Structure 1
Amino acid sequence: MTSKVQAPRCTAVVGLGMIGGSIAAGLKQAGWGGEVLGCDLDPSELAQGLALGVIDRQASLETVARDADLIVLAVPVLSIHRVLERLAPLLAKRQSPPVVTDVGSVKRRVREAVVAVCGSMPGWLVLGHPIAGAERSGVAAANPALYRQHRIILTPEADTSPEALALVRAMWQKLGGELLEMSVERHDEVLARTSHLPHLLAFSLVDTLALQDERLEIFRYAAGGFRDFTRIAGSDPVMWRDIFIGNRDAVLHALDEFEAGVARLRHAVEAGDGEEMLGIFTRANHARHYFQTLLNQSSYQASYHHMEQRNVRYRAAAGGRVEGRIRVPGDKSMSHRSIMLGALAEGETSVEGFLEGEDSLATLQAFRDMGVVIEGPEQGRVRIHGVGLHGLRKPAGPLYLGNSGTGMRLFSGLLAGQAFDTELTGDASLSKRPMNRVADPLRLMGAVIETGDGGRPPLRIKGGQRLHGVDYDMPMASAQVKSCLLLAGMYAEGETRVREPAPTRDHTERMLQGFGYPVSREGAVASIRGGGRLSGGKIDVPADISSAAFFLVAASITPGADLVLEHVGINPTRIGVINILREMGADITLLDEREVGGEPVADIHVRHAELHGIDIPQDQVPLAIDEFPVLFVAAANAQGTTRLRGAEELRVKESDRIQAMADGLTALGVVNRVLEDGIDVVGGPYGGGSVDSLGDHRIAMAFTVAALRATGDIVIDDCANVATSFPNFEALTKQVGMRLQVEVERA
């Protein structure tokens, strides 16, 4: 409860069943303050509630209307109309009506009852629904902890009083609930699918089996899965009858969807179609794991749902060591592309070393949503059953790509040539990033793409367009833009030629060649012809040099450091970070250089060295564009000044990385000067302090590395997105000897 909201002198709960009793008991236990009244048609419930200490005193509806400042209607949905008919005239007699809320699971029916009785939705009424319950009923089952860490959905109207909403929010927060808001219509649609339909199916299954002659034998041998699924059939039948009547249309719509899904599965079983069954089962298996992460409040794609309400804070203790042998996760760029090209290939593709970070998982899920059967990931292994260039299906809804700018820009290209419409969305960070850099050249090819305000997501791509090849000069070096146009070029008539002003990573070209699709390279121009095909194969994803960069810098700046990074990709278009660090004096040696799946790989041995400031060569800027946050930390530990120019691209990443790093460095006492296209960083001793990563994973990890040479601890806010690119970063920092603690706060 916020300090601005005072608890009412008197709170009344109308309906003392398990739900209402748990509210009353929870408020009393939490020290809500004031009296808690109980009102119920059943005198025995009231007497028991009083005897158990759930309420302070019994009350009639007349007493509730006269004394209460907050009234909670915890009665069945179909009883709301009858209760309001009695309550509303009594409330009208008060000069200042109390705040009223409810707990019904069908908000449209409650709203209709309110309008029927009151003529409109009064400002003092806030409709709500706690997503919590139990099989037992009655006030004897009241549980004061029932709502802790459970979601509470409020559905305020345009005319809802802000004061009334604040009081209801404060009540649920006092009970430990996690608050969400949505429209009445959206609430009923969501609940029909996630709560009402499962209960309907559980009741139906148990009833069907109970009618069988051999039901005793069936139930005797039922395993845990049957018990788990049918447990909810033990819920209150009267309550669920009311819910299904009240939310009839949404429940029937959800049932139609379910029956269509069962029909598809039945057909697959009848036909012995193992591939179709595997697709259904893998999608379901993945969705179940995803659902479990939400229940456990772990990280996968959670920013799309409710993790944006949590702050992950890093507390990096000053000092530490860096030594040993580690392998950082697989290359994110290649993980994205392996899923994309494997899905569009003919035949199966097996992937080793897949990065199981949120960005790559979002790409994987998007293809599952378009009908591609994908097994895994399991310990970095993925098997993709390709559908060919024209085998994708229209997804049921928008494709959510989390925090992945790479994913959204590459998807724009390959979806521009599909026969169906699609919409691409992302989290709050991705939704701020510019997308016209891919939308504009795709439009030149004949694509029809709508963007949000300022050329930002969401992107709406109209299918069925005839694309034609173009000769495009990129205004700035960008591997994402180049890759987007090459992917679109596979669907275009004629040749697509992309000219880049400076070399960028060439994973797309290399991987297309590996899948058997020819790509030409002449100087600064990459070109591709439409009408080809991709053939599935095997991909071994090397460790990501962008992830390795944090440990390259960590070992370079830490006295006594001696570290080997295993199986790291050293693609010539990606080793700018190595070239720049060596120019600064870093002791970096490449061991066992080899080629894996067309990509050069090596073990990297790095030891501490005294670094010195340099003017970073501009031809290295595109080759290290993602590594500059941690390179700024290297500069802060070098003798003299390091100067960066020609890096405007850094201002439109997950954050404005030039300004964000400058602000953090300043907070630590590092002298720096910001320019439009770069920064000057003056090396020297620096202290600890507090830094805001602005939700940018690379900034969060860079300042974690900075703590190795700080004179005090560095506290870094807003670090949840580290999981998008480096899911085991915390574990590896501790393995090599760094001192990182992760703290999670609820907003």
Structure 2
Amino acid sequence: MHRPIFEQVCVIGLGLIGASFAQAIKDNGLSERLVAVDSHAPSITEAIEHGLLDAGSANLQDVISGSDLIIIAVPVQAVQAVFVDIKQAMDNGQLAADCILTDVCSTKVNIIDAAKAVFGSLPVGLVPAHPIAGAENSGYHARRASLFVNHSVIICELATTSNVAITKLRLLWESVGANVISMDAGHHDRILAHTSHLPHLLAFNLVEQLASHDDNLDIFRYAAGGFRDFTRIAASDPKMWHDIFFANKSAIVSALDEYGVYLQTMRQLIIDKDSTALMGLLGRAQAARRHFGHMLASTPYTDTSAMSASYNITPSNTVSGTIAIPGDKSISHRSIMLGSLATGVTHVTGFLEGEDALATLQAFRDMGVTIEGPDNGNLTIHGVGMNGLKPSKTPLYMGNSGTSMRLLSGILAAQSFDSVLTGDTSLNKRPMERVAAPLRTMGAVIQSTGHSGTAPLSITGRDTAGKPLQGTEYNMPVASAQVKSCLLLAGLWAEGTTTVTQPEISRDHTERMLSAFGYPVIVEGNRISVTGGGTLTGGDIAVPADISSAAFFMVGAAISQNSELTLTQVGINPTRTGVIDILKLMNADISLSNEAHVGGEPVADITIRSSNLVGIEIPEHLVPLAIDEFPVLFVAASCAKGRTVLTGAKELRVKESDRIAVMAEGLQTLGIDCTVTDDGLIIEGKGTATENGDINNSQPVFGGGHIVSHHDHRIAMSFSVASLRAAEQITIEGVETVNTSFPGFAELANQIGMSIQVDTDAE
């Protein structure tokens, strides 16, 4: 219950919206008195009998005296007549001149015009408003106090309106659970013409069309769910929509004209049997419906109901079996990018359907590329060629994917059109100047945000910026596959040659895939060069299993008792196998079999057995080759005998979280002695070894406890692995982001012997 905001609220019109608003005000104690005006006497009588109203009448003058808020909830064409009655009450002294006046109509310009016509100048208390809420049933009996909870309410803050009126009405709507946003009246009417008025008009029209058909009885008898869902809104009040269509005539006619163009386009695609273009249109529409919801709420792609999730893990000590790991995220990203820019069709198998890769896929759909799928890891990409991308009509939303944002920056810097790249709250805090600065040396015009150089990124197209990008020689201060790939991709359009020199080897998926698409790449040790002006040719891409995802299970088998686990057809690109090299230095029992090449990438089955791990000083040259795997390697080090020292890993501090600090915090929570350094971590392992060399992985190393993952997928999965050597239950908070790289992780972990319960908090 809230404190009252108003002394007396008068609701004019007890239909669904008016009665629901009245009920919400009553239930939340937001007004000392509540009165109403409605020409339907039974509604007034029932509202008084139900205790909703203190008074009511068909005549406004009977109940309006002393009201400090009037809510007009009548059909839009009747509002001007209501204003006439309100002005008379003001002239008679029944209402103060600064009484707050608001409405709930779905058009706003005509409400403002009506107020000007009646009052001469706009009242200082006038606050036009529109709740975006409704229901199939209408009238007083359909009222629901919760109707506005988590729904948007648009208010138009007029220059003539007092700040007190705006503040009090905003507070009222927020107090009944609504989300209040401000919008110019004209913009409101144009937006609503497309999102509400046009769909209702089409629904009414379709039902009328089918009802007039000769086979109308059979049409309605056998109508499928889609027909019922789409035409449900045609059951709305005809008088109300009649008034709305006339009130917002200009914007609705404009929306209808635009719709007609799109409808004609689809008609022609069907006539021409243009399969590729039709699939592109349908695919973009299907994805867009989901995409914009996630983009506006900054939520994940693969879970539409759970805003937060946690793991509750019961300790287990053995894992075994043979499992397939999801596709490599890095290669999945690049298959979309290069397949879209290629000439011809690219077929992708093994595509990782995780949130990060889906963000890349959506970005290229937004830029006009037809992509069929994903369907069980299968994609068909209809390439548009090197110069075929089209500008997105909205910012390109990268979700949580740093790879998407950094690599796309290189591609977009060379396009003719302007672009904006944005992401979720976490991604928008990560450093982007590391790609923006070297791109500027090539002539790119990129604006990052804030002092720290973060997203959103605004990229000016070459049509505006002028001359094309110029090839460059860039010496990378730190080995980073993302920065290297960004510059090489920009170099595909640059005049001359672009050369990137890296201090250490980093993952080379971009170089390999460019070659697979027929683009010449010169690799001379740590120098990689491309010359602009070439073309890419579509083909088949098989995405191997992701070694970064496999690393969790590799460590899990190594630290547990009586375990043997085989991971099939994992990518063993030599720029990615640092985790294997480090685990072998720690005395892990790892073997490779069935080695082969798939789509230019080496793969193998990896078998891991229980191991007596020992602490080591991790060679710095291996750090870039295992940068994503260090969180779970820290878990392995905790289970090893002796000290493990990591240096040269500053890159870990600017990932989805500061992975050094966050892992140290979690390890200490579970009883591990570790020390954070400027560029690494020192871990005192608690493992033991028997004199005869037998595996001794039965003793717990970790205690139980509550871990905060900081919504970092690799942190969450790493501490899940720690449960294999834990004494008590471990709870990990913020695991919903696991889907960015490893959808189905918990299910697969449980399949091999772990015990993870996923708890979600829907909001």
TM-score normalised by length of structure 2: 0.86
* Other structure's SS at 1:340 match: helix
> Does the C-alpha gap of structure 1 residues 221 and 94 become closer, same or farther in structure 2, counting only changes over 3 Å?
closer
Q: 2:417 aligns with which of 416, 420, 428?
A: 420
2:719 pairs with 1:703: yes
Q: Does the CA contact (< 8 Å) of 1:48 and 1:140 recur in 2?
A: no
Give the equivalent residue in structure 1 for 2:269.
Answer: 268
1:268-310 Cα deviation digits (max 9, x unpaired): 234333322222122223335658989999941779xx97xx3
Distance (Å, rounded) in 2 between the aligned partners of 1:399 and 1:716: 31
Give the equivalent residue in structure 1 for 2:75.
Answer: 76
Deviation, 1:746, is 5.3
Distance (Å, rounded) in 2 between the aligned partners of 1:320 and 1:295: 43
2:347 pairs with 1:350: yes
Give the equivalent residue in structure 1 for 2:493.
Answer: 491
2:335 pairs with 1:338: yes
Give the equivalent residue in structure 2 for 1:363.
Answer: 360
Matches for 1:433-582 after TM superposition, within 5 Å: 433-454=430-451, 455-464=453-462, 465-582=467-584
> Does the C-alpha gap of structure 1 residues 613 and 249 become closer, same or farther in structure 2, counting only changes over 3 Å?
farther
How large is the RMSD of aligned CA atoms in angstroms? 3.6
Give the equivalent residue in structure 1 for 2:181.
Answer: 181
Give the equivalent residue in structure 1 for 2:231.
Answer: 230
> Does the C-alpha gap of structure 1 residues 581 and 184 become closer, same or farther in structure 2, counting only changes over 3 Å?
farther
Q: 1:630 aligns with which of 623, 629, 632?
A: 632
Letter in structure 2 aligned against 1:171: V
2:295 pairs with 1:279: no
Q: Does the CA contact (< 8 Å) of 2:507 and 2:576 recur in 1?
A: yes
Give the equivalent residue in structure 1 for 2:173.
Answer: 168
Distance (Å, rounded) in 2 between the aligned partners of 1:142 and 1:586: 66
Deviation, 1:229, is 2.5
1:412-444 Cα deviation digits (max 9, x unpaired): 112222222222221111111221211222222
* Other structure's SS at 2:256 match: helix
Q: Does the CA contact (< 8 Å) of 1:64 and 1:71 recur in 2?
A: no
Q: Does the CA contact (< 8 Å) of 2:65 and 2:95 recur in 1?
A: yes
2:731 pairs with 1:719: no
* Other structure's SS at 2:635 match: helix
1:92-115 Cα deviation digits (max 9, x unpaired): 978999987654333555566678
Give the equivalent residue in structure 1 for 2:692.
Answer: none
Give the equivalent residue in structure 1 for 2:697.
Answer: none
* Other structure's SS at 1:683 match: strand
Distance (Å, rounded) in 1 between the aligned partners of 2:311 and 2:122: 49
* Other structure's SS at 1:502 match: coil
Distance (Å, rounded) in 2 between the aligned partners of 1:355 and 1:534: 22
> Does the C-alpha gap of structure 1 residues 559 and 180 become closer, same or farther in structure 2, counting only changes over 3 Å?
farther
2:690 pairs with 1:692: no
Letter in structure 2 aligned against 1:142: R
> Does the C-alpha gap of structure 1 residues 332 and 109 become closer, same or farther in structure 2, counting only changes over 3 Å?
farther
Letter in structure 1 aligned against 2:279: L
Q: Does the CA contact (< 8 Å) of 2:127 and 2:157 recur in 1?
A: no
Identity %: 49
- Single out whichever of 639-648 and 22-31 deviates more from structure 2: 22-31
* Other structure's SS at 1:585 match: coil
Distance (Å, rounded) in 2 between the aligned partners of 1:294 and 1:445: 31
Distance (Å, rounded) in 1 between the aligned partners of 2:51 and 2:374: 49
Deviation, 1:354, is 0.4
Deviation, 1:253, is 4.1
How many residues end up aligned between the 2 structures? Answer: 733
Letter in structure 2 aligned against 1:165: R
Letter in structure 2 aligned against 1:330: G
Q: Which has the larger radius of gyration?
A: 2
Deviation, 1:501, is 0.7
Deviation, 1:630, is 1.8
- Single out whichever of 498-507 and 31-40 deviates more from structure 2: 31-40
Matches for 1:12-411 after TM superposition, within 5 Å: 13-24=11-22, 38-50=36-48, 53=50, 55=52, 57-60=54-57, 73-80=72-79, 82-83=81-82, 86=85, 102-107=103-108, 109=110, 127-134=129-136, 136-143=137-144, 146=147, 151-155=151-155, 157=157, 159=163, 165-172=170-177, 179=179, 181-184=181-184, 188-210=189-211, 223-288=224-289, 299-300=300-301, 310-319=307-316, 321-411=318-408
- Single out whichever of 519-528 and 549-558 deviates more from structure 2: 549-558
Give the equivalent residue in structure 1 for 2:757.
Answer: 741
* Other structure's SS at 1:741 match: strand
For structure 1, the residue ranges without an aligned partner over 5 or more in a row are: none
Deviation, 1:637, is 2.5
Deviation, 1:625, is 1.0
Give the equivalent residue in structure 2 for 1:672.
Answer: 674
1:25-52 Cα deviation digits (max 9, x unpaired): 567789999876554232122234456x
Distance (Å, rounded) in 2 between the aligned partners of 1:65 and 1:550: 69
Deviation, 1:700, is 2.1
Give the equivalent residue in structure 1 for 2:684.
Answer: 682
Q: Does the CA contact (< 8 Å) of 1:126 and 1:164 recur in 2?
A: no
> Does the C-alpha gap of structure 1 residues 606 and 302 become closer, same or farther in structure 2, counting only changes over 3 Å?
closer
Distance (Å, rounded) in 2 between the aligned partners of 1:236 and 1:347: 51
Distance (Å, rounded) in 2 between the aligned partners of 1:463 and 1:108: 36
1:119-160 Cα deviation digits (max 9, x unpaired): 6686896835143321x3222333566556x63335474936
Distance (Å, rounded) in 2 between the aligned partners of 1:436 and 1:291: 27
> Does the C-alpha gap of structure 1 residues 630 and 68 become closer, same or farther in structure 2, counting only changes over 3 Å?
farther
- Single out whichever of 585-594 and 596-605 deviates more from structure 2: 585-594
* Other structure's SS at 1:313 match: strand
Q: Does the CA contact (< 8 Å) of 2:104 and 2:131 recur in 1?
A: yes
> Does the C-alpha gap of structure 1 residues 538 and 166 become closer, same or farther in structure 2, counting only changes over 3 Å?
same
TM-score normalised by length of structure 1: 0.88
> Does the C-alpha gap of structure 1 residues 330 and 585 become closer, same or farther in structure 2, counting only changes over 3 Å?
same
> Does the C-alpha gap of structure 1 residues 658 and 283 become closer, same or farther in structure 2, counting only changes over 3 Å?
same
Letter in structure 2 aligned against 1:457: A
* Other structure's SS at 1:559 match: coil
> Does the C-alpha gap of structure 1 residues 450 and 688 become closer, same or farther in structure 2, counting only changes over 3 Å?
same
Distance (Å, rounded) in 2 between the aligned partners of 1:228 and 1:660: 47
Letter in structure 2 aligned against 1:362: A
> Does the C-alpha gap of structure 1 residues 704 and 43 become closer, same or farther in structure 2, counting only changes over 3 Å?
same
Distance (Å, rounded) in 2 between the aligned partners of 1:54 and 1:382: 60
- Single out whichever of 697-706 and 284-293 deviates more from structure 2: 284-293
Distance (Å, rounded) in 1 between the aligned partners of 2:361 and 2:565: 33
Deviation, 1:726, is 1.6
For structure 2, the residue ranges without an aligned partner over 5 or more in a row are: 687-700
Q: Does the CA contact (< 8 Å) of 2:418 and 2:461 recur in 1?
A: yes
Deviation, 1:706, is 2.5
